[in-house]
C-alpha cells in the first residue's frame, strides 16, 4: 500500500444560491482544485462524485459524467458514490483507495449538493430517506426527531444538558463567523441558543445544521509524487469507512455509533496514532449532539464527557482540542454530498497554516455509515 497525499483542494462558498445550479457549483470547486493542484483535466485517471440526493433535489441523475465532462474529462471511470450524508467522505475514501493500491496516480473527488431549490419541508422529506423508510419513515420520523431521541437518551445516561448542546452551537458559530466561505457568518450567544425556536425537543433551531448549496473538491496523488504538484500537500495517514444498521431501533445503545468506532479504530491503527495525538478535528455536527457523540466515539474525550468538555471550552479555537474550526455543518453549512469532501479541504487548510495532525469524521444517517480520515503535513 502506497502513501497518499492531497495535492490540492477547492471549495465554493456554502449558502443559498438561487442563481446557481448543481453543475456550476461542482465545476467551480473542481476548477479551483485544478488550479490549486497544478493538475490538468487530461492528467486525471479516475473521478469520484460524492452526492446524496441530486436526483431528488434537482431532477438530474447520472451525475458523475454530468460533472466530470463539464470539467473537461472524458474517457476515464467517472463514478457517483452515495452513502447519505457520508457520500463525500465515502467518495474520498474510494479515491484514496485507488491511489493507495497503485491502481491510479491522479484521482479527483468532487462533492456537491444543491438543496435550496426545494422548500424546507421537501428537504426534510428528502433527507428522511437516509433513515429506514419501512420503519422510521413510516412512523413519521425525520432526522431532527431521531437526533432528538439520541440527545434525550444521552442526557439521561450522562447528565448532558441543554447548555452543553448550546455550547456546541455557540462555539461553531464563533468559528463560522471567521470563515469567509461559511453559510451563516453570525455569532450567537448562549442565551440565544437556549431560547431558539424548538424543532424537536430538546433540539432547537440552533442545534440543527443548515440547508445549503455548495461543492468541494480534492486531488489525490501518491506521496512520492507530491513535489511535482505542490509544496503544501497533506498526507493521508489513516482512513477507514464502516457501516451499521440504518434504523435506530436496531441499535443496542443509541448514544454511540458502532460504525464510527469501527472506522476510528481502523484509521488510528493505520495512522499509528491515538486520539491524544489529534490536534484538531472537523466533526460531523449535523446536530449539536452528533458532535458530542463523535468526540466520545473517537476517544477524544471519555464516554459521556463530550458535553461537559465542550461547555468548559475544551473544543474552542483557543482550547486544547479545537473542533470545527471551519464552523462545522452548523455554521459553515451542510450541502450534504459536499460535506465530507469539504471537511478534508478544511483540515488541509489548517495543516497548511501550521497545525500538524488533524482528523475529519463524516457520518451518514443516524450512524449507518461513517468515514474517518487522519491527515498530517507532508
Residue 21 touching a copy of itself (CB under 8 A): yes
CB nearer a copy of itself, residue 42 or residue 189? 42
Helix (H, G, I), strand (E, B) or coil at 374: strand
Report yes or no: 212 and 286 within 8 Å, Cβ to Cβ. no
Q: What is the DSSP letter of 249?
A: G
How many Å apart are CA 120 and CA 107, to the nearest integer? 35
Clarify whether 85 is annotated catalytic: yes
Q: Within a 10 A sphere around the Cβ of 1, how many other Cβ atoms?
A: 9
Shortest CA distance to 173 belongs to which of 310, 330, 301? 330
**Span from 36-44, 201-209, 227-235, 244-252 in contact with a copy of itself (CB under 8 A):** 244-252
Q: How far is the CB of 360 from a copy of itself (least distance, A)?
A: 16
What radius of gyration do the chain's Cα atoms show?
A: 19
Site string for a copy of itself, 181-210 (x = CB under 8 A): ------------------------------
Report yes or no: 136 and 142 within 8 Å, Cβ to Cβ. no
**Span from 194-202, 276-284, 286-294, 365-373 in contact with a copy of itself (CB under 8 A):** 365-373
Residue 64 touching a copy of itself (CB under 8 A): yes
One residue of 10, 145, 364, 376 binding a copy of itself per CB under 8 A: 364
Clarify whether 334 is annotated catalytic: yes
Which residue among the candidates 94, 154, 183, 334 is catalytic per the annotation?
334
The 3-class SS string of 176-227 reads HCCCCCCCCCCCCCHHHHHCCCEEECCEEHHHECCCCEEEEEEEEEEHHHHH
Residue 52 touching a copy of itself (CB under 8 A): yes
**Span from 55-63, 185-193, 272-280, 319-327 in contact with a copy of itself (CB under 8 A):** 55-63
**Span from 183-191, 209-217, 234-242, 291-299 in contact with a copy of itself (CB under 8 A):** 234-242
Burial readout 92-128 (b: 16 or more C-beta within 10 A, e: otherwise) = bbbbbbbbbeeebbbbbbbbbbbbbbbeeeebeebbb
Residue 250 touching a copy of itself (CB under 8 A): yes
One residue of 244, 291, 296, 350 binding a copy of itself per CB under 8 A: 244
CA dihedral of 65, 67, 72, 78, whole degrees rounded to 10: -40
- By CB under 8 A, the residues from 109 to 148 that bind a copy of itself are 126, 129-134, 137
Which residue among the candidates 85, 208, 286, 345 is catalytic per the annotation?
85
How many Å apart are CA 155 and CA 136, to the nearest integer? 22
CB nearer a copy of itself, residue 30 or residue 202? 30
Q: How far is the CB of 103 from a copy of itself (least distance, A)?
A: 5
- By CB under 8 A, the residues from 151 to 170 that bind a copy of itself are none
How many Å apart are CA 21 and CA 17, to the nearest integer? 8
Report yes or no: 123 and 115 within 8 Å, Cβ to Cβ. yes
Residue 47 touching a copy of itself (CB under 8 A): yes
Q: How many residues interact with a copy of itself (rule CB under 8 A)?
A: 63
Alpha helices (runs of H) in 282-335, residue ranges in sequence order = 288-297, 306-311, 328-331
* CA angle, 151 then 153 then 158, to 5°: 95
One residue of 29, 248, 259, 289 binding a copy of itself per CB under 8 A: 259
Q: How far is the CB of 331 from a copy of itself (least distance, A)?
A: 25
**Span from 141-149, 280-288, 323-331, 363-371 in contact with a copy of itself (CB under 8 A):** 363-371
Report yes or no: 5 and 235 within 8 Å, Cβ to Cβ. yes
One residue of 13, 210, 223, 242 binding a copy of itself per CB under 8 A: 242
CA dihedral of 181, 184, 188, 192, whole degrees rounded to 10: -170
How many Å apart are CA 319 and CA 331, to the nearest integer? 19
- By CB under 8 A, the residues from 73 to 112 that bind a copy of itself are 73-84, 90, 93-94, 97-98, 100-103
- Chain positions contacting a copy of itself, by CB under 8 A: 1, 21, 23, 47, 52-53, 55-56, 58-66, 68-69, 73-84, 90, 93-94, 97-98, 100-103, 126, 129-134, 137, 240-246, 250, 258-259, 262, 364-365, 368-369
- Residues with a catalytic annotation lie at 85, 334
Amino acid at each position: 500500500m502506497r502513501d497518499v497525499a492531497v495535492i490540492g483542494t477547492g471549495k465554493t462558498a456554502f449558502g443559498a444560491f438561487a442563481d446557481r445550479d448543481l453543475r456550476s457549483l461542482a465545476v467551480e470547486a473542481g476548477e479551483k482544485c485544478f488550479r490549486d493542484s497544478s493538475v490538468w483535466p487530461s492528467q486525471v485517471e479516475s473521478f469520484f462524485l460524492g452526492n446524496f440526493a441530486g436526483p431528488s433535489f434537482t431532477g438530474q441523475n447520472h451525475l458523475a459524467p454530468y460533472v466530470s465532462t463539464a470539467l473537461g474529462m472524458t474517457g476515464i471511470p467517472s463514478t457517483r458514490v452515495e452513502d447519505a450524508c457520508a457520500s463525500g467522505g465515502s467518495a474520498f475514501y474510494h479515491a484514496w483507495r485507488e491511489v493507495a493500491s497503485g491502481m491510479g496516480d491522479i484521482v479527483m473527488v468532487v462533492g456537491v449538493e444543491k438543496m435550496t431549490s426545494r422548500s424546507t419541508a421537501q428537504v426534510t422529506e428528502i433527507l428522511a430517506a437516509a433513515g429506514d423508510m419501512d420503519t422510521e419513515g413510516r412512523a413519521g420520523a425525520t432526522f431532527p426527531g431521531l437526533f432528538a431521541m439520541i440527545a434525550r437518551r444521552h442526557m439521561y445516561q450522562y447528565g448532558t444538558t441543554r447548555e452543553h448542546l448550546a455550547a456546541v452551537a455557540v462555539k461553531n458559530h464563533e468559528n463560522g463567523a471567521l470563515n469567509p466561505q461559511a453559510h451563516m457568518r453570525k455569532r450567537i450567544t448562549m442565551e440565544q441558543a437556549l431560547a431558539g425556536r424548538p424543532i424537536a425537543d430538546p433540539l432547537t433551531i440552533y442545534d440543527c445544521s443548515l440547508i445549503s448549496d455548495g461543492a468541494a473538491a480534492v486531488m489525490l496523488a501518491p506521496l512520492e509524487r507530491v513535489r511535482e504538484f505542490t509544496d503544501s500537500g497533506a498526507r493521508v495517514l489513516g482512513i477507514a469507512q464502516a457501516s451499521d444498521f440504518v434504523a435506530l431501533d436496531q441499535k443496542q445503545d443509541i448514544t454511540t455509533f458502532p460504525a464510527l468506532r469501527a472506522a476510528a479504530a481502523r484509521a488510528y491503527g493505520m495512522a499509528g496514532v491515538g486520539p491524544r495525538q489529534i490536534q484538531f478535528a472537523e466533526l460531523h455536527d449535523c446536530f449539536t449532539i452528533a458532535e458530542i457523540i463523535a468526540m466520545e466515539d473517537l476517544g477524544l474525550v471519555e464516554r459521556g464527557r463530550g458535553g461537559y468538555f465542550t461547555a468548559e471550552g475544551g473544543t474552542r479555537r483557543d482550547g486544547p482540542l479545537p473542533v470545527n474550526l471551519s464552523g462545522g455543518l452548523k455554521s459553515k453549512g451542510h450541502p450534504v454530498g459536499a460535506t465530507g469532501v469539504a471537511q478534508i479541504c478544511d483540515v488541509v487548510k489548517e495543516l497548511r497554516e501550521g497545525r500538524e495532525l488533524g482528523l475529519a469524521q463524516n457520518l451518514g444517517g443516524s450512524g449507518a455509515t461513517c468515514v474517518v480520515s487522519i491527515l498530517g503535513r507532508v
